[in-house]
Chain A
Amino acid sequence: MIASDKAPLPVAANATEFDRRRFLDALLTVGFVSTAAAIAYPVGRYLVPPESGEPVTASVVAGHVKALRPNSAAIFKFGSKPGIVVRTGDGDVRAFSAVCSHLDCTVQFKSDTSQLWCACHNGTYDLGGNVVSGPPPRGLEKFVVNLRGEGDDAEIVVSRA
């Protein structure tokens, strides 16, 4: 650069000058791009939430049979998500995930129709967890119910199938 001020450069030297400029531009671009990448990578990883330390729940006590009248239901906590335990009209106890398969709303029990109903988009399920009407694409996840104890004093133990 400085030499160019003193003497006119031959054509060939001009070409080298141009190459040098291109080389420096490329070097600068590589530098900026690597800096951007070095920042973007940790930030990208940071944005992804870490897996919660919570272990996957295998089974939980959802309550006592005597607290649940026939043709009624109760919401219980299954890990970090809601479950629903239903006592049918003939006394049978069943449990499902209360998370609607459509858009994750929590379903509720309708005693007049004996169906599980999602208030968000009017999806209904029967007491087998199968879709009856509305937008849900799949049935509700069905849990295994075991009764621990005798008669109405029994505890309802719900576990993943």
Chain B
Amino acid sequence: MNVIDWVDERIDLSEVRHFVAEKGVPVHAQKVWYYLGGMTLFLFGVQVFTGILLLLYYRPSATEAYESVQFIVTQVKFGWLIRNVHSWSANLLIGLAFAHFFSVFFLKSYRKPRELTWVSGILLLFLMLGFGFSGYLLPWNELSFFATKVGTGIAGAVPVIGHFSLRLLRGGDDVTGATLSRFYGLHVAILPAIATALVALHLLFVQRQGMSVPPGVEKKLKPGERLPQMPFFPNYILRDVLAWYVVIAVLAALAAFYPWELGTKADPFAVVPPGIRPEWYFLAMFHTLKLVPSHVLGIEGEHLGVVVFGIAALFLVLVPFLDRRASRGESSRLFTVLAAGGLIYLVTFTIIGHYAK
């Protein structure tokens, strides 16, 4: 504690101390959903930490990438653990980010005044998908190579700028070592820089505004009545830490018992292996694009699919501004139905996509 006193004497910490003492979390039946954001944040920390460790041995080139990952998991002490944790944590992170997203969507936490928190959160969700997509290629194995071919091919279906964005992503016309260099730079420098800034902003908003109380809980309050509060330090943070321990336990079990496959090294001239499919979080989109006929009303099916996904993404960003009723504190059944529809669509299409040939 002497250290804190020492710092306090030099730079006044009274504001921080006041904030720590005052910060509270509303207590109600729905508060279980508050943990999801913290768990996602924790996994983001795990990714940064294990990612930096992997950088010590990973070599981003078509001739060495696969071998360097092989070296990490076979030669380096606990390299298998670091790599398995990084791979599993990435998947848990995206799963939890989606859960966090849907809980916020259903509880209408995006309503005024938290529109910007929502926008930064949605952008973070897209960024996490970008992390997943770029990181998947880095071991340079057969599956990731062809999945990247297909994935960047979808970018090529964007009307007007398609060919340009495909070349921009691939660093040329084909998926080659140049693509690997780009994805590496994206994965370890560009995306982390943007994500760090957005996470900081997202947290700043949450701290400034406190936790959102679901409209259903708010409505039941009598005029002038306040919800009971739990102190954030130490009561709530200890509960958060408990949730993180659950995450660590799941992560450790998965990493130890279900090693992430490395597969065979990518060979650009090999035949595409059957059953090629992207990571599970892209399956719904992947399967939808498979179902779109080649031409709809004279428009190429791929183009149509990509445009619809683009509109859906834009819609998600704009939800707090479109849902006027929730902002006025009225119930907005339409957006509950939209959220439910989105959830049902994602779950069913992911499952169908998984079992489809």
Contact = CB atoms under 8 A, between A and B. Distances in A.
B81 interface: yes
A48 B82 CA distance: 14
Contacts of A43: 53, 78, 82
A46 B248 contact: no
A42 interface: yes
Measured as residues with beta carbon below 8 angstroms from the partner, the interface class of chain A is 10 to 19
Contacts, number: 27
Contacts of A48: 77
Nearest to A28: B238
A42 B56 contact: no
Task: Tell me what chain A mostly uses at the interface: helix, strand, loop, or mixed.
Answer: helix
Contacts of A47: 53, 56
Contacts of A6: none
B82 A46 contact: yes
B79 interface: yes
B76 interface: yes
Interface string A88-131: 00000000000000000000000000000000000000000000
A35 interface: yes
Given A35-B248, A43-B53, A50 B81 contact: no
Nearest to A46: B78
B351 to A, nearest CB: 35
B248 A50 contact: no
Interface string A43-60: 101111110010000000
Measured as residues with beta carbon below 8 angstroms from the partner, the interface class of chain B is 10 to 19
A50 B77 contact: yes
Contacts of B78: 42-43, 45-46
Interface string B32-71: 0000000000000000000001001000000000000000
B75 interface: yes
With most chain B CB atoms within 10 A of its CB, the pick from A42, A45, A48 is: A42
Interface in B75-91: 75-79, 81-82
A42 B81 contact: yes
A43 B49 CA distance: 10
Interface in B231-262: 245, 248
B121 to A, nearest CB: 28
Contacts of B77: 42, 45-46, 48, 50
A42 to B, nearest CB: 4
Interface string A30-45: 0000010000001101
A20 B225 CA distance: 36
Contacts of A45: 77-78
Given A45-B77, A46-B76, A50-B75, 17 more contacts: A35-B245, A35-B248, A42-B78, A42-B81, A43-B53, A43-B82, A46-B53, A46-B56, A46-B78, A46-B79, A46-B81, A47-B53, A47-B56, A48-B77, A49-B76, A50-B76, A53-B75
17 contacts: A35-B245, A42-B77, A42-B78, A43-B82, A45-B77, A45-B78, A46-B53, A46-B56, A46-B77, A46-B79, A47-B53, A47-B56, A48-B77, A49-B76, A50-B75, A50-B76, A50-B77
